[in-house]
Amino acid sequence: MSANPPVLETKEVTIRFGGLTAVSNFNISVPKGSIVGLIGPNGAGKTTCFNIITGFYKPTQGEVFLEGKPITGLPPHKVCEEGIARTFQNIRLFYNETVLQNVMIGGFVRQKSHWWMPPLMIPSCTREERELRETAMALLDSVGLGKLAGEISSALPYGAQRRLEIARALATKPKFLLLDEPAAGMNPQESQELMDFIKRIRTDFDLTILLIEHDMKVVMGVCEHIWVLDYGILIAEGNPEQIRTNPKVIEAYLGEEATQNA
């Protein structure tokens, strides 16, 4: 599909829960620097794929590779350490903490000091925390949340919470970012802003992005390549134009809602 080497590859990933096969033979390859989408009707297994890639589920079969390195079966925190960050379908912020704290928590994975250092006032640790705070502030400024840094995150409006969740994910310094329905609950204008935002962070942070989305405008507008999942099976892939015209996709998914929209 493009010359860039793949950042993320899955090979024949299959997962069964009891007797039920939720995802089978899931093969994707995401080239570096691209924005790609995973779509499909409700219950098709999209979030399950995210959970497999990020280590929350262990696939029954198959392998996941990040820049050629197998990461299958690593626990979620290791996957994040390797450079994959994610957001959640129903936003999961640390709601009792401030906006700044949320982002600093994201930065913890790259922090070198140990837990016993702050009470002993080790200078290197104090310095690192100060730098971390500054980076976090800079990150917040760049996503337009700088003014809200001191607010408790639960007090933010919905759209700002979405952006904060992305900012928090960016603070982990990922190579590969997974967005689970980032436009859910947004009005057309907000989703337009979101599309620009996603494109911008790709270049600013040198990212590769995979997103799950129901809003076809967003998917078609931002993704360069799309995979379609139905009942746990990939039924189509291609660029937005190919997907739009693929009869299988229209039958499985676009048939219900997006044909009118598109």
Partner 1 sequence: MSLDMFIQHLFNALTLGSLYGLIAIGYTMVYGILRLINFAHGDIFMLGAYFVFFGVTLTKLPWGIAVVLAVALSALCGTVIDRIAYRPLRDAPRISALISAIGVSFFIENLGLVVFTGLPKPVYRPDWLVEVINLGNIRILPLALIVPAIAFALVMGLLWIVYKTKPGLAMRSISKDIETTRLMGVSVDKIIALTFGLGSALAAASGIMWALRYPQIHPFMGVFPGFKAFIAAVLGGIGSIQGAMIGGMLLGLIEIMAVAFFPALSGYRDAFAFILLIVILLMKPTGLMGEKLEEKV
Partner 2 sequence: MKTPNKNRDLTLTTAAVGLLLVFLWWANGHLDNYKIQVLNLIAINSILALSLNLIYGFTGMFSLGHAGFMAIGAYVSSLLILPPVQKEMIYILQPLIWPFSVLQAPFFIAVLAGGFAAALLGLVIAIPVLRLGGDYLGIATLGFAEIIRVVFTNLTPITNGALGLKGIPNYANIWWNYGWCLLTLFFLIRLINSNFGNVLKAIRDDEIAARAMGINTFKYRVVSFSIGAFFAGIGGALMASLITTIDPKMFSFLLTFNVLMIVVAGGLGSLTGSIIGSAVITVLLEWLRFVENPIDIGSFHLDGIPGMRMVIFSLLLILIILFRREGIMGMREFSWDSLISRFSRGGEAR
Point out which residues bind partner 2 (CB under 8 A).
54, 56, 75-77, 80-81, 85-86, 88, 92-98, 100-101, 104-109, 111, 115, 117-119, 121, 125, 129, 132, 149-150, 168-169, 172
If the CB atoms of residues 34 and 51 are measured against partner 1, the closer one turns out to be 51
The Cα–Cα gap between 119 and 138 comes to 26
Minimum distance, C-beta of residue 117 to partner 2, in the bound complex (Å): 8
Q: Which DSSP state fits 98? A: B
Least gap, CB of 208 to partner 1 (angstroms): 22
- For position 205 contacting partner 1 by CB under 8 A, the verdict is no
For 40, 55, 242, the CA distances from 248, given in Å and listed in that order, are 12, 30, 11
> What is each CA distance from 56 to 73, 92, 116, 135, in whole angstroms?
9, 15, 29, 28
Closest CA to 63 of 133, 119, 9, 125: 9
Q: Closest approach of Cβ 92 to partner 1, in Å?
A: 9
Residues 6+ apart with CB under 8 A from 234: 25, 26, 27, 28, 227, 228
Q: Which two tokens stand for residue 36?
A: 């790609």
- In angstroms, give the least distance from the CB of 220 to partner 2: 28
Q: Provide the minimum distance between the beta carbon of 90 and partner 2 in the complex, in angstroms, as a whole number.
A: 11
Q: Do residues 236 and 248 make contact, with C-beta atoms less than 8 angstroms apart? A: yes
Q: Which of residues 72-101 bind partner 1 (CB under 8 A)?
A: none
Q: Which does 192 bind (CB under 5 to 8 A by kind): partner 2, partner 1, none?
A: none
Neighbours of 174 (CB within 10 A): 22
Nearer to partner 1, 56 or 65 (CB): 56
- The least CB distance from residue 51 to partner 1, in Å, is 5
Helices (H), the chain: 46-53, 76-82, 99-107, 117-120, 123-142, 158-170, 188-204, 216-222, 240-245, 247-249, 258-261
What x/- string results for residues 20 through 59 when contact with partner 1 is judged by CB under 8 A? ---------------------------x---x----xx--
Answer with the entry of partner 1, partner 2, none that 97 interacts with (C-beta below 5 to 8 A by kind).
partner 2
Which residues are at the interface with partner 1 (CB under 8 A)?
47, 51, 56-57
